[in-house]
Amino acid sequence: MRLIDESIRTMNSQLNATDQAHLRRALELAEGGRGRVSPNPLVGAVIVRDAEVIGEGFHAELGGPHAERAALEDCRRRGGDPTGATIYVTLEPCAHRGRQPPCAEAVLGAGLARVVVASEDPSEKASGRGPGILRDGGVEVAFAAGAEAAAARLLNQPFRKHARTGLPLVVLKQAMSLDGRTATAPGDSPWISGEQSRALVHRWRAEADAIAVGIGTALADDPLLTARHPDARQPLRVVFDSSAQLPLDSQLMTTLDQAPVLVVASPEADAGRISALRDAGAEVLVASGETPADRVGSALAELGRRGVTSLFLEGGATLAAAFVAAGQVDESRVFVAPVLLGGVEGGRRAGPVAVGDPPPPAVAKASSGVVPPTAPPARVAALESRVERVGEDTLITARLKEW
């Protein structure tokens, strides 16, 4: 029988320090799959009998064994016997057959006596079914609460948002100067942040399913948007480009052999331009919607349907503003570099989030010299934030939502 929220709550156990330590190890193991298992979640597992760890494993590759089976396999390799043992797992064991057979079946088959779960699986096909089957099979099931449960949820934010909403998790990354500029002068290097920050950005790209920029950035910087990181899985490169004007000789279009490109165009885009991009090997998605924010929403829904669970949004300020207006920024990572860029005359050297066209003169006059934006984005407070040094830069990470 499937376990509903209420029955899961009654299984929230006060785990002892040993249980918590094994769950923390399972969480550490789960990290081994980062950047390689999506749209699946990161999962780690530890098997313990008589206070001894007899097996460890994690979900390492999409299509490969799940953590529970990997840990059981490790146990067998070590010559151990899992009968009567406890398995600590960061996500509830699945009950459905996907690319792999159900984990609940493996746990029952191995004769494990107890399963300690750090977080529930919010996806429709899971959510309590595995724990229900295990309990019906005579296995004791305990759910963690507190720090380990929170860490397990944070580990899988892309998976959890996608499971609950069908949309990818959006991480907005921006680099800005001391005077709040995110764009350099034409002809100047587009880089604002330092070398170490950029290396970190390449790692983040490799961990994401997709990277997005606006056509403003694609035209100004002609970026490659690949992940230059060892062993990187190349994400899908997405360009928000209403009129499908991405040049066929841009770096994005001439490197389709390295990573795919998807252009998000509007229904009004010229059919000839769309065909040219398609003929050259890009995918073109037509996103409808009244406002830029609506079009962000419809593009995200389509990306989600294609199994994209995480989108790394690299700007620029105009596209960032549309994502903020759509309420679709889940996490923000801002590098503040120790440089001044100046050059605000004419308003084109944007701050991190563009706030629309200047207001009509009457409104501007009433503002006693300060020009208010026409549609200021709503204030969004972070749930949690962190500040750290990366080389010469300061990185501010703010989590805005939790799934």
**Binding segment for ligand NAP among 89-97, 136-144, 153-161, 289-297 (CB under 6 A)?**
289-297
d(CA 2, CA 69): 21
* CA 35 from centre of chain: 10
User: Could you tell me the smallest distance in angstroms from the CB atom of residue 233 to ligand NAP?
Assistant: 22
**Binding segment for ligand NAP among 8-16, 309-317, 356-364, 379-387 (CB under 6 A)?**
309-317
- CA dist 227 → 31, 195, 204 (Å): 19, 14, 8
To the query of whether residue 6 is one of the catalytic residues in this protein, the response is no
Question: What residues contact 232, with CB distance under 8 A and at least 6 apart?
Answer: 35, 202, 205, 206, 226
Task: Tell me the one-letter amino acid at 176.
Answer: M
Angle between helices 147-155 and 157-165 (to 10 degrees): 70
User: Could you tell me the smallest distance in angstroms from the CB atom of residue 331 to ligand NAP?
Assistant: 15
Pick the closer one to ligand NAP by CB: 122 or 292.
Answer: 292
Pick the closer one to ligand NAP by CB: 133 or 259.
Answer: 259
Pick the closer one to ligand NAP by CB: 98 or 190.
Answer: 190
d(CA 156, CA 149): 11
Q: Is 377 in the site for ligand NAP (CB under 6 A)?
A: no
d(CA 73, CA 78): 9
Among 314, 330, 331, 393, binds ligand NAP (CB under 6 A): 314
Question: What residues contact 326, with CB distance under 8 A and at least 6 apart?
Answer: 293, 294, 296, 297, 300
User: Could you tell me the smallest distance in angstroms from the CB atom of residue 219 to ligand NAP?
Assistant: 8
Q: Is 192 in the site for ligand NAP (CB under 6 A)?
A: yes
Catalytic residue among 6, 28, 56, 68: 68
- The residues annotated with a catalytic role in the active site are 68
| Chain contacts with ligand NAP (rule: CB under 6 A) | 174-176, 182-183, 190, 192, 213-217, 220-221, 240-243, 292, 295-296, 314-319, 322, 350, 354
